[in-house]
Chains A and B, each alone.
Chain A
Amino acid sequence: MMPKLNASNAVAALLCIALVLLPVYSAITGNIFILTLFTRIAIYALAAASLNLIMGYGGMMSFGHAAYLGIGGYAVGILAAEGIGSGFIQWPVALAVSALFALLIGALSLRTRGVYFIMITLAFAQMAYYVASALSRYGGDDGLTVYKRSDFAGLINLSDRTQFYYLCLGCLFGGLYLIWRIVNSRFGLVVQGVRSNEQRMQAIGFHANRYRLVCFVIAGTICGLAGALLANNTDFVSPAVMYWTRSGDLMVMVILGGMGSLFGPVVGAIVYLLLEELLSQFTEYSGLILGPVLLLIVLFARGGIMGLLGRMSRG
């Protein structure tokens, strides 16, 4: 499939180049802050991209996606606190636990549809939030400090700013590539078919919920990876990452960028987090501007930023 040259693809390509070259810019100007900011952005972009897989392509409006950020993070944090510092153990555990959680809540949640699905995923995420708050051995409400970042036996040093940035960026690109392959595979086409007409897909012999569930688990696992990265980035994990407003943030990034477009969530994460950061630099009350901006985007820019670009290039 040869990507066509249009405004949204051009933006995506430019974005990738800019993200890859960012550490060079940071090294030349000595601006370390921008590197740490974009490390965070890359991690959230990965989480948003995984949410986009189920929301945009699968039609599953999960309002509990931040749970995986916490689960991946706590897997790293708890293992580190118990003296297991190796990333080769921490990360697979983070992915496996996220996948297991997704399998469990997915199997139950997918019995419902529409608003009920939104609410039940929210309920499960809230449960995960309260479980984490009760882990008094691991900091409870206050959260858990990760004193040492995951150790990859000299292969890569996570405490090095540039190396860690490229690791996050690599995970983001890897995740996007995986999602792109999934979306264009037979499996992905079935999932999208189920989104647009479930009954028809059932009638021609596809077990709709089984496809949905697998897609749900894949998305959860990818977001678990983002969680593991996030815990390493902040050296800290707390129940607050799983609170429902965090899931709301992820949803905002996806919708803002453009649901159901591969690069939409990346654009959404960049715009949302940059806006938040810029606004917080000249006003303490960033929500006063950010809130109405979101409202205006919904009212006047359907399909998010990528949708807007798509319309522009069609003229």
Chain B
Amino acid sequence: MYLVVEQLLNGLQFGLLLFLLAAGLTLVFGIMDFVNLAHGSLYMMGAYFAATFVAWTGSFVLGALLALGATLLLGIVLEYVALRHLYGRDHLDQVLATFGLILFFNDAVRLIWGPAGLALPLPAWLTVPVQIIPGVYYPAYRLMIIVVALAVAAMLYLVVMRTRVGMLIRAGASNREMIGALGINIKLLFTLVFGLGAALAGLAGLMQAPILTVQIGMGENILILAFVIIVIGGIGSIRGAFMAAIFVGIIDTMGRAFLPDLLRKVLSGAAASTAAPALSSMLIYLLMAIILVLRPEGLFPAAKR
């Protein structure tokens, strides 16, 4: 029972992290109609910046804030220099160009930080376990991820639904040409949205960094998960991305935790130990394939264009 609660929380934490990544991706995808494979690289850069700045400043919070700013800046520069010329181009052109950026960032990181991974140590106050319900302890840091991610999600919701910028973002998602024709500075809006997406990806990266090793290629696995999420949730829909992210996070974590035992009850030992890792890794892709076959537009499609 305690294990189930713990794994549920792990799933929620992973799902929220995925949401941070997917939110930026779905905004960029929904508004600029831009497929950004390099989004995973921004996630990686967030983690590397955090590892560096935390080591420099000696403070986890200060380092994290600096890393966040650095990723935001990187995103804006990237958009301004290269990516804005790709809006309105074929999706394949965008895939090719951003694939090139992945190659670039991976080798740039290898050049600057070396091929070995970095570790981002946690400060002492974040390593203590917290008693959440009597008898169940949960790491404070993971709890903090949940709180921060939920706060960011709420803030994102408020910004998108309650502010003027948010209104423009929503308008852009439903009809790009029209808001341009109404005299809105779309270029600036796009740069802003891209920077926001980059900062969210960086935040996800730097928060994940202490749990996993900071290493080259860390963005590539998780990028595909983020794509799965925005496809399941319906492209351009933040609400859909949120639901799908939590859903995917919990299913993935629970699958990895409990599927092996379940399979052992059904299959023989050898067959189960072969099938379990494959099946638990495949689970979300299977889920996505089923959803796409049944509902090709995703679960929560954004308003029709």
Contacts and interface: CB of A to CB of B under 8 A. Distances in A.
A293 B95 contact: no
A245 interface: yes
Interface in B112-150: none
A86 B94 CA distance: 44
Interface stretch (B48-56, B199-207, B279-287): B279-287
A80 interface: no
Contacts of B220: 244-245
Contacts of A137: 274
Interface stretch (A20-28, A166-174, A188-196, A284-292): A284-292
B293 A108 contact: yes
Interface stretch (B9-17, B59-67, B101-109): B101-109
Given A123-B289, A124-B285, A113 B296 contact: yes
Interface stretch (B69-77, B169-177, B224-232): B224-232
Interface stretch (A89-97, A145-153, A249-257): A249-257
A119 B297 CA distance: 12
B85 interface: yes
A131 B285 CA distance: 12
Contacts of A113: 296
Contacts of A135: 274
Contacts of B110: 284-285
B111 to A, nearest CB: 5
Contacts of B235: 115
Contacts of A88: none
B107 A256 contact: no
A291 B298 CA distance: 32
Contacts of B85: 299
B167 interface: no
B97 interface: yes
Interface string B208-240: 000000000000100010011001000100000
A61 interface: yes
A206 interface: no
A108 B277 contact: no
A256 B96 contact: yes
A41 interface: no
A298 interface: yes
B224 A122 contact: yes
B161 interface: no
A255 B104 contact: no
B275 interface: yes
B302 interface: no
B187 interface: no
Contact of A259 (B82, B92, B278, B281): B92
Interface string A230-264: 00000000000000110010011001100100000
B96 A298 contact: yes
A177 interface: no
B193 interface: no
Given A245-B220, A252-B96, A294-B97, A120 B289 contact: yes
B23 interface: no
A37 interface: no
Nearest to A249: B99
Interface in A259-285: 259, 284-285
Given A130-B281, A288-B111, A295-B82, A119 B97 contact: no
Contacts of B29: 115
A106 B39 CA distance: 28
B86 interface: yes
Given A133-B278, A136-B274, A285-B107, A116 B95 contact: no
Contacts of B227: 119, 122
Which of B35, B82, B100, B110 is packed against the most chain A CB atoms within 10 Å?
A: B100
A282 to B, nearest CB: 14
Contacts of B95: 63, 118, 248, 251
Given A112-B292, A118-B91, A291-B107, A252 B99 contact: yes
A131 B106 contact: no
A302 B89 CA distance: 10
Contacts of A120: 231, 288-289, 292-293
A213 to B, nearest CB: 14
A19 B96 CA distance: 27
Contacts of B103: 287, 290-291, 294
B288 A294 contact: no
B289 A248 contact: no
A111 interface: yes
A130 B282 contact: yes
**Would you list the 7 A-B pairs with minimal beta carbon distance, nearest first?**
A291-B104, A294-B100, A134-B278, A287-B107, A287-B103, A291-B103, A130-B281
27 contacts: A63-B95, A111-B292, A111-B293, A112-B293, A116-B296, A118-B91, A119-B228, A122-B227, A127-B286, A127-B289, A130-B282, A131-B282, A248-B37, A248-B95, A248-B99, A255-B96, A256-B96, A285-B110, A288-B104, A290-B100, A290-B104, A292-B100, A294-B97, A294-B100, A295-B104, A297-B96, A298-B86
Interface of B: 29, 35, 37, 82, 85-86, 89, 91-97, 99-108, 110-111, 220, 224, 227-228, 231, 235, 273-275, 277-278, 281-282, 285-286, 288-289, 292-293, 296-298
Given A120-B293, A123-B285, A299-B82, 15 more contacts: A63-B95, A113-B296, A120-B292, A123-B289, A131-B282, A134-B275, A248-B95, A248-B99, A252-B100, A287-B106, A288-B104, A288-B108, A291-B100, A298-B93, A299-B85
